[in-house]
Structure 1
Amino acid sequence: MLKPFSRLAALLLCIITSACVPGDALSPPKAVPVLGGAAQIGLPRGYCIDKGASRDTGKTAVVFLGRCASNAKTQPALISIAFGDAGSAGVMTASGATLAAFFQSSDGRRTLSRNGRAKDVRVISAVGRENLLLLHLYDAPVGEYWRAVTAVRGRLLTISTIGSRQLPLAPAEGRKLLDATVASMQAANRSAK
């Protein structure tokens, strides 16, 4: 049985090389409901959901996106989108500076770490604006990547964009993809109360 990180590494390699093609490459939807319709996954252009790797319990959801087709001009990358429980967005009432300071602390870096070790995570930058925190991170098991922390429909939402050791995602490309995914998620959930 694969350990959680090994499963993630296998999934990442599969999605990046598009050995598995998640979704319909010809006409992927722009948004897909999750959490029994309580929220939507807004799909950035060229990316589809890997249904086999994603999990939706009805209370929380973790969804993985990869390129819709291997020959696409779309940047090879893994996008992970995670929704917390209903009401979990309360943490976003803290200021961007407070959240940025937390994630630079030992407890915050441990929270961000793939293996739970604060020493493996370095916060390259942390920028808060309105209801959004953007983190540029280095995590020893996976390398450099971007993560957004925000709130949608009363739920904490995190989005990560990452490449692989074989096909790394340049920091500028990772940020561009993160911005596109955040915009897609906001558009798909615009009617949120």
Structure 2
Amino acid sequence: MNDLSATFWEARYQSDTARWDLGQPAPPFVSLLASPAAPPPGRMIVLGMGRGHDALLFAQHGFEVTGVDFAPSAIAAAQASATARGLSLTTLQQDIFDLGEPLARQFDYVLEHTCFCAIALEQRPAYVRLVHQLLKPTGELIALFWAHSMPGGPPFGTTPEEIRSLFTPYFVVDHLDPVTNSVASRANQEYLARFTKRTA
């Protein structure tokens, strides 16, 4: 099994081999926030936020954002970017799977982008339960899933069918749509999701 510990991810940042880092917010999130379907600002947690490009995009649009990562270099980079841009960002250097009970039902939104594909496959059901636990009643998951078919990982691939199967017991699948403005290396492989928490 791959070593997916904090030490592994920190080494990737230190060696500048964090290839999942786009150096900018994901274009589908930019488009969403500029559209009539943009979610209203609220309290958001970003899981595995990396250097914080997506977290800061939502902060810029009025969201109260908490970003979580267990790589100290990623946290430091996100904090530095927030300070430089005059944006408010709360950061937690922590394993996401330790968040559940302390932060249960505290967020209007969970933002997902390249965290789901970075965790071990056997952790995916626990990830879904974590997202459900973090959200307030009727809270929403906003996600950009990378549904590639490359062997191995991380990043680990998925399919729209797997996503629906994992999330449907806990969420209403409002949208799971292919996007047309992914970065070139992920073209035709990404799905923008908006799932509402089930409360019964």
Q: Do the two structures share a fold, i.e. TM-score over 0.5?
A: no
TM-score relative to the length of structure 2: 0.26
Structure having the higher strand fraction is: 1
TM-score by structure 1 length? 0.27
